[in-house]
Amino acid sequence: MNTPLSPEKSGTAPFENDLDYLMAEIEWIGARVRRIVAQRQPNEQDDRLVQRGLRRNIGGGAVRPDLLKCLIVEEKVFRQAIDSRLNLNRTIGPAIGLDRICQQHGLGGFERTLILLAFISCLGNRYREDILWQLDTIFHSCEVTVEAVALFLEMGPDETAKGLLHILRDSPLRRQGLVQLPYDPGYPADGLSIGISLSGTCVAEITGIPGFKGFCAPADEGEVP
């Protein structure tokens, strides 16, 4: 009978802590964004991408097939490695903070991705520019948007529209004080581009660093007026 190999024998080990996991996810996010950007047609690229040299290796008005193939493989390899390690965390530990809050508050894939993308802004300008800026050139300086999440997940119009429901006042993200919006969008169209920030409570939970709860904006209270 086949039995699972130990982490040592399989060559795969669980993530040591929350930050170890989060940085691996950010590495995958960067790989996915590179692939998404490369697949966009030249006329869909913002002129600033050209100025920053982000169209390198793309010539003749199209993406080189070998480049795109490499980017697809890179993204897949990162994802498989993360999922293998995360599976070990879920079976033998240590538990991952993002898993915990998703289970506790019933968060789905869209909300989990929003949290991951929004966390990038907590790491500084270099990460924002190298990852978020390429994905959505109109993103807010320290915030992510529903539109950016939809672009990252390559969602269609109907799924994008449904994504707006995740930032309503009675949604789990806001009811539990996990995210903060500068104001309540009055219209669905306004909600697509409104900036979304992680609360100190959320960052504390996903990083395992309680000190972040000291950033106590009103959204951290976890109550909907």
Cα(147)–Cα(28) distance, integer angstroms: 19
Q: Provide block-wise average pLDDT over 10 residues at a time, the chain (225 residues).
A: 43 92 96 90 47 43 76 96 97 97 97 96 85 67 84 94 95 95 90 92 96 76 42
Residue 47: predicted pLDDT: 46
**What count of other Cβ atoms lies within 10 Å of the Cβ of residue 37?**
18
Residue 51: predicted pLDDT: 45
φ and ψ of 54, to 5 deg: -80, 0
Cα(133)–Cα(139) distance, integer angstroms: 7
**What count of other Cβ atoms lies within 10 Å of the Cβ of residue 208?**
17
Residue 138: predicted pLDDT: 54
Under a CB-based contact definition with an 8 Å cutoff, are residues 58 and 67 in contact?
yes
Helix (H/G/I), strand (E/B), else coil: 121: helix
**What count of other Cβ atoms lies within 10 Å of the Cβ of residue 106?**
9
Under a CB-based contact definition with an 8 Å cutoff, are residues 26 and 120 in contact?
yes
Residue 41: predicted pLDDT: 55
Residue 62: predicted pLDDT: 58
Which neighbouring-strand residues pair with 180? 197
Residues 6+ apart with CB under 8 A from 46: 137
Tokens read off for 202: 């959320």
Cα(85)–Cα(205) distance, integer angstroms: 20
* pLDDT, tens digit (0-9, with 9 covering 90-100), for 156-175: 999 999 999 999 999 999 99
Cα(214)–Cα(172) distance, integer angstroms: 21
Residue 218: predicted pLDDT: 60
Instruction: Provide the whole-model pTM.
Output: 0.83
Residues 6+ apart with CB under 8 A from 2: none
